[in-house]
Chains A and B, each alone.
Chain A
């Protein structure tokens, strides 16, 4: 820093680290329609970003574009040359083939086969005792922790999670979110896509709300869910109130 050059991050809030991902005016057209339209944003080291938006808002398209799995129709995605993204996909029929795959083997996929690295990643999510179990014999919450271990095994700068808690019970969700919080405190940059607005607002340092175009990008304190996602927000709160009503009855 003695060269006197202005650091590129000097214009950013003091908590933000160096930029890892720079998305500039990205549009992705799928089947003749714009799935996302002219999205620009920059991801900095150490951020915990919640990516929210209604169904069909283009969240998964944006993620696939960040990962390089989808090529933008217009605009650019720039990654710093060294940045590695660890990806935790939506829970689906992953690793659920006719043939069993052990927990350690799943994590080794992320570590280019390195057993020691994989075992360390399993320790980081407290799943080392399950290393030799078939992946499909684990509970949903355990499977998600293993998926994180696999992502961590690639020594990522950014952890990207797509709806990671879908179909997992509340207790396991709490454990899962605690794990994410501690990973972020250790310096990992995290982007999480979620339907669960309230949880995301309590967890993250930055909210990005998307509905094909960028609706909101800023701190969670200023995000008005009712304004940007009225339908989704009201639905979640109706369910919440419904449950409360039952408790009172």
Chain B
């Protein structure tokens, strides 16, 4: 057996990483298709505010980050649907507001023994058995919800008007997609970190779309690329002794560049 698997923390890291690697690009397909992928970046910054508040009040940071981020996602969607602010501006405001709150909370919480930067850049090797358990339930829930609404989400992603005419409750489904994205963003904090989440959401999807001819094909290929990136990244991180979050994103980028070169020469 490879010595990487003789450490139980690395086995937990692989399980957690693979769960995220499948769930994040799954959602990413719908967000990229509707040109809304930056939502993950904004929500990641909001989630950091939740983490900061958790540190400040002595609560488990991730458990407080979930309601805060889901709330932020619903607020974003509400702003977008009411068109009081354009999507782009809402994203920018929420992103900076979230990070500002995070910094203030983290300052106030100084003296707490939790390292805030582990939420910025990920700290997959500190994943506990409880984390893996919570992650497997949450990712199963997200995946099941997406699959149950797959047809409606595809319809909305490509043609929102036509989805309305077909009788789908588009407004509700948009809130649902935003909330699911928020949940996935929080769950990914420990794996790739708040600043790198959007990479895992976008890069596998864009890499897959270089060689696929259908949406379904892109979904499958993006999940495979997500898995390859996480597994490859964890191997490199372990043997080169570098940060796992960075290694995972760089693996994904390498695959993207490979796919783009392949497309150019094909």
Contact = CB atoms under 8 A, between A and B. Distances in A.
Interface of A: 67-69, 85, 87, 89, 94-95, 97-102, 104-106, 109-110, 112-113, 132-134, 150, 154
B139 interface: no
A219 B206 CA distance: 52
Contacts, number: 77
Contacts of B165: 67-69, 85, 87
A109 B162 CA distance: 9
Given A68-B165, A69-B164, A134-B213, A98 B33 contact: yes
Given A68-B164, A109-B154, A109-B162, A97 B35 contact: yes
Given A85-B165, A89-B159, A104-B214, 13 more contacts: A67-B165, A94-B159, A98-B35, A98-B209, A99-B32, A100-B215, A101-B214, A102-B213, A105-B214, A109-B162, A109-B163, A110-B166, A134-B214
Name, among B166, B205, B215, the residue most crowded by chain A CB atoms within 10 Å (CB to CB). B215
Contacts of A112: 151, 166
A164 B139 CA distance: 43
B34 A97 contact: yes
A49 B35 CA distance: 36
Contacts of B80: none
Contacts of A101: 158, 214-215
Contact of B214 (A68, A87, A100): A100
Given A89-B162, A105-B215, A100 B209 contact: yes
Contact of B154 (A85, A105, A133): A105
Interface size of B as a range: 20 to 34
A69 B165 CA distance: 7
Contacts of B33: 97-99
B162 A87 contact: yes
A64 B105 CA distance: 48
B157 interface: yes
B263 to A, nearest CB: 12
A179 B119 CA distance: 59
B158 A97 contact: yes
B35 A100 contact: no
A102 B164 contact: no
B218 A113 contact: no
Interface string B153-194: 011011101111110000000000000000000000000000
A99 B159 contact: no
Nearest to A134: B213
A128 B179 CA distance: 38
B60 interface: no
B157 A97 contact: yes
Contacts of A95: 158-159
B215 A102 contact: yes
A133 B162 CA distance: 21
Contacts of B216: 102, 105
Q: Closest 9 CB pairs between A and B?
A: A102-B214, A97-B33, A101-B215, A99-B33, A113-B151, A134-B213, A99-B209, A109-B155, A99-B218
